[in-house]
Amino acid sequence: MAASIVRRSLLARHGPARRVAGLHSGPRRRRVQAPGAAGEQGDAPWVAVVGLEIHAQISSDSKLFSGSKVQFAASPNSLVSFFDASLPGTLPVLNRRCVEAAVMTGLALNCSINKKSLFDRKHYFYADLPAGYQITQQRLPVAVNGSLSYSFHAGGQKNQMVTRTVRIKQIQLEQDSGKSLHDDTRGQTLIDLNRAGVGLIEVVMEPDMSSGEEAAAAVRELQLILQTLGSSQAIMAEGQLRVDANVSVHHPGEAYGTRTEVKNINSARFLARAIDYEIKRQIKELENGGTIVNETRTFDYKLGCTLPMRDKEGKQDYRFMPEPNLPPLILYDNKSLPANVNHSQVVNIDWIRERLPDLPSVKRAKLVEQYGILPEHCLTLLNEDGLMQFFENVMKQTEMNPKKVIGWILIDTLGYLNQHRLTVKESPVSSFFLAELLNLLERREISSSAAQQVFRELWKGEGKTPLQIVKEKRLEVIQDQQELEAICQAVMEGHQKELYSQAAQERREQSIKAYVLFCMSPALVFSNNR
């Protein structure tokens, strides 16, 4: 049958995919012109430097140093052990699961794992920090010197995928703080210690980035890695992944500018906006002859700007000190593992390495190889929570070419989901239904436009199968020659005037084929039945 009724391929819609040069740029510092800042005064352009510190709550049953349960949105102060409330005389006991999660994360981020790491106390007074200090790993963290490669669609161009690498300075284990809830009407502050002592993995990135877009992409990739490993659920909205960004600007060739820290950004979207705002603010400030103060700022997502944090004013001296109640954390590998050791008492790096799941980058490469789809498609497939699984489920149930399927996934399904602000999980069109629909299309039992119509029907979520919808709406392609002829006859008879008009006469020869095809769709026939 005619090729023209087949859905336009994805490539046709978007033009040929271009592979972007420098797909694997090395870890060296790249200096990218800051957004919208190109030599506004005719001087050298500004260069922005962005570094991230990311706190990921470890997904574990209990807290880092106590047996209290870890649970989101439990009733206030219901998950607090004596240690969490810093009762005098209580001591920390390291949670093995948290160590494993940190080692796993370190390995996934190409870090070298320190066989010996240490815990330190970081002191500051805050109402939701009961002990007056946080136990962290300042001097000798569990993992150092890693890297994270991430890709993104440069400038929002769907077909321009850029891949970059950011160096990981260190990964450390530390305690989360509690939460302060300010009751302004009664002038009270309420403390919830449920979160106090929950294990965190802090990932410190070198300042290798230069824009909000890059930072957001790096965070997204890290989030995927953490979720793949299961070391953190990394849901930003639930505060399981929190990002602090260090931002500064300078002219190329000159020393780095004074940096500010934008704290507690809890969505990827706000992260990019906060960083880009801060870059612009600093440039504007400097160009107006001002100076940048080394300060902590917060992002006001309603106003879309960063503001100085009042309660963090003044430089803190954290008075770091070794945590005397925890011996050094010793990790082993197959070589160093002592004989007759209690396995529940040790963490073996090699054992963890052997059991690492496929990381997102590997998964994407496998998708490219297995399905012949483009890397940028894979990027989106993985970046959208559950979309890859959805795609693979569809693939299992359909004979359609993956290159065609990917269009239905990325354009139609994802488009609909985004339009209705739904997650993949919430999709009213299941992978099973979509596969059935695509099979109908692939077997040419329905036309492309009919398929679109069925898809729209499916979206209503009425539970009808694609086949039911096709039957009900009589959308099947008519394969029977006689029936087709009859329809054509009927259409022609109903449109005698048009058929025999002068203009039609002239076009008849060229369009007869198209006309037949037009007639093949009963829906059109009936809708045009005048």
Partner 1 sequence: MGPSQWRQVLLTCAIQDGSAHGRVSESLLRRFGRGIAGCPPERRGAARMLRASLREISAALREGQLSPTELCQSCLSFIKATKFLNAYITIAEDTALKQAEESEERYRRGQILGDLDGIPVAVKDNFSTAGIETTCASNMLKGYIPPYNATVVQKLLDQGAVLLGKTNLDEFAMGSGSTDGIFGPVRNPWSYSRQYREKCAQKAQTENEDSNWLITGGSSGGSAAAVSSFTCFAALGSDTGGSTRNPAAHCGVVGLKPTYGLISRHGLIPLVNSMDVPGILTRCVDDAAIILGVLAGHDPKDSTTVQDPFKPFELPSCMDASSLCVGVPKEYHAPGLSSETLALWSKAADLFENAGAKVIEVSLLHTQYSIICYHVLCTAEVASNMARFDGLEYGHRASGGESTEAMYAATRREGFNDVVRGRILAGNYFLLKQNYEKYFIKAQKVRRLIANDFVNVFSGGVDVLLTPTTLSDTIQYVEFIKEDNRTRSAQDDIFTQAANMAGLPAVSVPTALSEKGLPIGLQFIGRAFQEQQLLTVAKWFEKQVKFPVIELQGMMNHGHTGCHHQKSAFFS
Which of 190, 235, 309, 326 is the binder for partner 1 (CB under 8 A)?
Answer: 326
Write down the least CB distance from residue 295 to partner 1, Å.
19
- Contact between 86 and partner 1 per CB under 8 A: yes
| CA-closest candidate to residue 399, choices 441, 439, 440, 455 | 439
| CA-closest candidate to residue 387, choices 418, 342, 356, 419 | 418
Q: Which residues 55-74 are close enough to bind partner 1 by CB under 8 A?
A: none
Helix, strand, coil % (nearest 5) of the chain? 40, 20, 40
Q: Which is nearer to partner 1, 184 or 317 (CB)?
A: 317
Characterize the bridge pairing of strands 296-300 and 260-265: parallel
Q: Which residues 475-504 are close enough to bind partner 1 by CB under 8 A?
A: none
Write down the least CB distance from residue 191 to partner 1, Å.
7
- 188-227 footprint of partner 1 as x/- string (CB under 8 A): -x-x------------------------------------
Which of 15, 16, 42, 89 is the binder for partner 1 (CB under 8 A)?
Answer: 89
b/e for 268-292, b at 16 or more Cβ within 10 A?
bebbbbbbbbbbbbbbeebeeeeeb
Distance CA 271, CA 51 (A): 12
- Contact between 314 and partner 1 per CB under 8 A: no
Residues forming a β-bridge with 135: 121
Q: Which residues 93-132 are close enough to bind partner 1 by CB under 8 A?
A: 93-94, 121, 123, 125, 127, 130-132
- Contact between 87 and partner 1 per CB under 8 A: yes
How would you class 178 by CB atoms within 10 Å of its CB: exposed for 0-12, middle for 13-18, buried for 19 or more?
buried
Please report the sign of the dihedral spanned by the C-alpha atoms of residue 483, residue 488, residue 492, residue 494.
Answer: positive
Q: Which is nearer to partner 1, 52 or 85 (CB)?
A: 85
Q: Which is nearer to partner 1, 127 or 293 (CB)?
A: 127
- Contact between 133 and partner 1 per CB under 8 A: yes
Q: Which stretch binds partner 1 (CB under 8 A): 315-323, 359-367, 425-433, 436-444?
A: 315-323
- Contact between 88 and partner 1 per CB under 8 A: yes
Strand order in the sheet with 305-308: 112-113, 143-153, 161-175, 199-205, 47-57, 241-250, 260-265, 296-300, 305-308
- 338-377 footprint of partner 1 as x/- string (CB under 8 A): -------x--------------------------------
Q: Which is nearer to partner 1, 133 or 433 (CB)?
A: 133
Q: Which is nearer to partner 1, 88 or 156 (CB)?
A: 88
Q: Which stretch binds partner 1 (CB under 8 A): 36-44, 78-86, 482-490, 493-501?
A: 78-86
Q: Which is nearer to partner 1, 345 or 481 (CB)?
A: 345
Write down the least CB distance from residue 121 to partner 1, Å.
6
Q: How many CB atoms lie within 10 A of CB 204?
A: 18
What is each CA distance from 38 to 41, 252, 275, 283, 525, in whole angstroms?
9, 12, 17, 11, 58
- Contact between 79 and partner 1 per CB under 8 A: no
- Contact between 185 and partner 1 per CB under 8 A: no
Write down the least CB distance from residue 83 to partner 1, Å.
9
* Alpha helices (runs of H) in 207-307, residue ranges in sequence order: 212-229, 268-287
Q: Quick check: 495 and 468 in contact, CB under 8 A?
A: no
51: its two tokens: 């570094």
Q: Quick check: 92 and 173 in contact, CB under 8 A?
A: no
Binding site for partner 1 (CB under 8 A): 82, 85-94, 121, 123, 125, 127, 130-133, 189, 191, 317, 319-321, 324-327, 345
